[in-house]
């Protein structure tokens, strides 16, 4: 219970800080500056006051308006009058699909590679996969995304079929969505797989040395059974916990991927919100990110207790 | 308390840090005894990383001086040209020499990476050591701030604030502000163990003021942890700077960094590959070098990991 109160306080303070910071730094008035018949100051003031973005109103008043709105579940409006809550709810689905796909592929790949590397410890597979993982960890997301785009264009040219799409979300059926999902999901999945495989390899190496694994071998169980039934099951516990935690961090961590691939998700909105000085949207995304992060931290903790009751403290 | 929670799950594994097995909640590793013989300074991979890093640093420092072009120069006879004798790395769409731009970008990325890493590790050492030594309300306050900074999306704050500043120093301060938390948690844990050591107790009973015990006895004894973490932070800082600059929130013109060069080059990479690959390749080489050195230092610091390697 104490922790729940503490987390709620963290979420409130984090989004308030983000709102205040954005309100002080960003300048929504700039959105009107470029118009050719320059709109009268009074009109701009009225329009900005309407959405609680007028920097001539006292900061405290604007903050109170915003926070009381949030308490009622209303995240305010963007500079051109749209509801932030509805916008973010739409985008959350797009981001959720991407993160789920990326995490699933990355986890599967990482766990497989990590387990095999541990089983073939210090043999060629371990060494090769170790080198590949090391290289992947050094490639920034922006470079990886662009390299995948270049590769996809070459691939499409070579095969003549335009299967892989490099931009947007896809409006058509499931196949169209899939075509747009492959590359951004890979951009998320490859670095994740690299991290997971390192975790899994270390966890497996620890377990393979354990006494109960040796006992299982000694009583005559085949090597494969011992590795899968005894070692892998135990080694999966810490990695699964870490995986759950990553899910929350990724919800906003996919900013780069979404922007490069032009997917209309939360991360991409973050960039455009800063560019158009949408104070309320910036604060809203911070709140979503904080909630996601803390929820997944709690989920990871619960999962760990369920999977490993002996260690519960 | 949430402090233990974050310490357990937040790792900087993405930067190439080999996750410590002892950090896994389900598995306890026995810390092996250190070998009797004095260990060598660096392993083969560590030396390779150090050599690559020195080479890149020398290139970044000396390169721009030796190249006849400057960042502001425009060659109006060569727009978007592939590499030639005159421009070994090719030219940009506006006729800029890519060799000098890339080397200047490398210099800026290296500089930001090192300054941020040193500053962030310093903050982490102070916060972690004070929290771990004093415990009580000092610890609770400092760890609450640490958790708060971990919850706020760093990318957002840095992007919002730095979109108003063109100064790269401001960028360094902002990146530092969001990079010290995980190391601080590790330092705190190590300090809690250390505060019961005999030499710390002795100092306490001699009446040495607490702040001096922390600065003179606790922090210096964490040097190996701090050096290893600072190295890992260099890579993390360079990566963070790259994605910020890519979106135009980090290093802004006329300054160039590897991130801004990659952003400029990406749209033309298909038909003018030299605008993209030099900067991308150098960036990857730089991170590989930093991670090689960092991993090596970390292995030496934590003998339990050496068994796995």
Candidate from B148, B243, B308 with C-beta closest to A142: B243
Contact B156, A282 (CB under 8 A): yes
Candidate from B19, B157, B163 with C-beta closest to A202: B19
Instruction: Please state which of the ranges A47-56, B223-232, B297-306 shows the lowest mean pLDDT.
Output: B297-306
**Is residue A17 within 8 angstroms of chain B, CB to CB?**
yes
- Tell me the average pLDDT across B19-28: 41
Chain A stretch 233-292, residues whose beta carbon is closer than 8 A to a beta carbon of chain B: 234, 237-238, 241-242, 245, 252, 255-256, 259, 270-271, 274, 282, 285-286, 289-290
Residue A188 lies inside a defined structural domain of this protein: yes
Name chain A contacts of B29, Cβ cutoff 8 Å.
206
Burial zone of B156 (CB within 10 Å; 0-12 exposed, 13-18 middle, 19+ buried): buried
Which tens digit of pLDDT belongs to each residue from B257-282? 888 888 888 888 778 788 888 889 99
Q: Cα dihedral angle (A304, A306, A311, B2), rounded to 10 degrees?
A: 50
- The number of distinct structural domains making up chain A is 1
Contact A48, A79 (CB under 8 A): yes
Contact A98, A265 (CB under 8 A): yes
What is the rounded average pLDDT for all residues in chain A? 83
Q: Cα dihedral angle (A73, A75, A76, A82), rounded to 10 degrees?
A: -110
Residue A13 lies inside a defined structural domain of this protein: no
**Is residue B163 within 8 angstroms of chain A, CB to CB?**
yes
Which tens digit of pLDDT belongs to each residue from A96-119? 889 999 999 999 999 999 999 998
State the pLDDT at residue B16. 37
Tokens of B110: 């290296």
CB A117: neighbour CB atoms within 10 A? 25
Beta bridge partners of B97: B91
| Domain hosting residue A156, numbered range | 84-312
Whole-number Å distance between alpha carbons of A120 and A127: 9
Residue A51 lies inside a defined structural domain of this protein: no
Chain A stretch 21-40, residues whose beta carbon is closer than 8 A to a beta carbon of chain B: 21-22, 25-26
Residue A226 lies inside a defined structural domain of this protein: yes
Tokens 């309300």, residue?
Answer: B137
Residue A26 lies inside a defined structural domain of this protein: no
CB B247 to CB A206 under 8 A?
Answer: no
Q: How many residues does chain B have?
A: 309
Which tens digit of pLDDT belongs to each residue from A229-274? 888 888 888 888 888 878 877 876 788 888 888 888 888 888 888 8
Distance from CA of A166 to the nearest CA of B (A): 13
Residue A14 lies inside a defined structural domain of this protein: no
CB B21 to CB A203 under 8 A?
Answer: yes
Chain B stretch 96-135, residues whose beta carbon is closer than 8 A to a beta carbon of chain A: none
Whole-number Å distance between alpha carbons of A196 and B135: 34
Residue A300 lies inside a defined structural domain of this protein: yes
Phi and psi, residue A34, nearest 5°: -85, -5
- Tell me the average pLDDT across B156-169: 76
Which residue, B304, B295, B288, is CA-closest to B17? B295
| Residues near B193 by beta carbon (within 8 Å), at least 6 away in sequence | none
Chain A stretch 58-87, residues whose beta carbon is closer than 8 A to a beta carbon of chain B: none
CB B24 to CB A146 under 8 A?
Answer: no
Residue A155 lies inside a defined structural domain of this protein: yes
- Tell me the average pLDDT across B75-104: 78
- Tell me the average pLDDT across A113-133: 90
Which tens digit of pLDDT belongs to each residue from B178-226? 888 888 988 898 898 888 889 899 999 999 998 999 998 888 888 888 8
Total-model pTM:
0.81
- Tell me the average pLDDT across A39-66: 77
Name chain B contacts of A21, Cβ cutoff 8 Å.
157, 160-161
Tokens of B285: 């080489």
- pLDDT grade for B37, boundaries at 50, 70 and 90: low
**Is residue A115 within 8 angstroms of chain B, CB to CB?**
no
| Residues near A245 by beta carbon (within 8 Å), at least 6 away in sequence | A296, A297, A300, B9, B10
Query: CATH code at A228?
Result: 1.10.3720.10
> In this predicted complex, what is the ipTM?
0.81
Distance from CA of A147 to the nearest CA of B (A): 9
């Amino acid at each position: 219970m104490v922790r729940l109160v503490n987390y709620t306080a963290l979420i409130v303070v984090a989004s308030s800080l983000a709102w205040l910071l954005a309100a002080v730094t960003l300048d929504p008035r700039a959105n009107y500056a470029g118009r050719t018949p320059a709109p009268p100051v009074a009109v701009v003031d009225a329009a900005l006051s309407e959405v609680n973005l007028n920097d001539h109103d006292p900061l405290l008043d604007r903050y109170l308006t915003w926070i009381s709105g949030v308490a009622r579940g209303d995240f305010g409006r963007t500079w051109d009058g749209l509801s932030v809550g509805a916008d973010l709810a739409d985008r959350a689905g797009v981001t959720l699909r991407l993160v789920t796909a990326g995490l699933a592929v990355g986890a599967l790949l990482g766990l497989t590679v990590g387990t095999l590397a541990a089983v073939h410890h210090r043999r060629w597979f371990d060494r090769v996969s170790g080198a590949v993982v090391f290289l992947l960890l050094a490639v920034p997301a922006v470079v990886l995304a662009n390299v995948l785009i270049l590769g996809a264009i070459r691939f499409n040219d070579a095969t003549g079929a335009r299967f892989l799409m490099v931009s947007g979300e896809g409006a058509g059926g499931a196949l169209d969505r899939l075509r747009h999902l492959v590359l951004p999901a890979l951009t998320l999945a490859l670095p994740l797989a690299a991290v997971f495989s390192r975790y899994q390899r270390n966890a497996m190496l620890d377990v393979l040395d354990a006494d109960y694994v040796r006992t299982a071998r000694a009583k005559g169980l085949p090597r494969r059974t011992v590795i899968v039934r005894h070692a892998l099951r135990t080694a999966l516990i810490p990695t699964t916990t870490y995986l759950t935690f990553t899910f929350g961090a990724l919800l906003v961590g996919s900013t780069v991927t979404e922007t490069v691939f032009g997917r209309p998700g939360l991360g991409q909105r973050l960039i455009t919100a800063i560019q158009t000085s949408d104070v309320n949207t910036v604060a809203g995304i911070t709140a979503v990110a904080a909630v996601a992060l803390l929820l997944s931290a709690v989920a990871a903790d619960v999962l760990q207790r369920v999977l490993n009751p002996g260690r519960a403290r | 308390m949430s402090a233990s929670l974050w310490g357990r799950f937040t790792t900087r594994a993405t930067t190439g840090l080999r996750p410590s097995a002892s950090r896994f909640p389900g598995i306890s590793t026995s810390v092996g005894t250190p070998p009797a013989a004095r260990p060598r300074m660096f392993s083969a991979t560590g030396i390779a990383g150090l050599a690559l890093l020195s080479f890149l640093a020398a290139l970044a420092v000396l390169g721009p001086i030796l190249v006849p072009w400057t960042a502001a120069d425009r060659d109006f006879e060569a727009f978007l040209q592939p590499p030639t004798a005159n421009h070994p790395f090719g030219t940009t769409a506006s006729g800029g020499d890519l060799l000098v731009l890339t080397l200047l970008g490398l210099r800026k990325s290296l500089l930001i990476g090192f300054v941020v890493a040193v500053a962030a590790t310093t903050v982490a050492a102070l916060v972690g050591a004070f929290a771990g030594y004093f415990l009580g309300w000092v610890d609770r306050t400092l760890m609450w701030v640490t958790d708060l900074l971990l919850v706020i999306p760093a990318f957002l704050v840095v992007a919002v604030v730095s979109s108003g500043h063109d100064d790269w120093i401001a960028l360094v301060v902002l990146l530092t502000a969001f990079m010290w938390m995980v190391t601080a948690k590790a330092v705190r844990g190590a300090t809690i163990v250390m505060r019961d050591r005999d030499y710390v107790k002795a100092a306490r009973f001699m009446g040495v003021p607490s702040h001096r015990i922390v600065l003179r006895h606790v922090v210096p004894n964490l040097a190996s942890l701090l050096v290893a973490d600072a190295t890992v932070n260099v890579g993390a800082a360079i990566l963070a700077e790259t994605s910020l600059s890519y979106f135009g929130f980090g290093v802004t013109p006329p300054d160039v960094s590897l991130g801004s060069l990659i952003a400029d080059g990406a749209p033309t990479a298909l038909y003018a590959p030299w605008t993209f690959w030099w900067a991308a390749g150098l960036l990857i080489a730089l991170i590989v070098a930093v991670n090689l050195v960092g991993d090596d230092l970390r292995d030496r610091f934590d003998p339990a990991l050496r068994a796995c390697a």
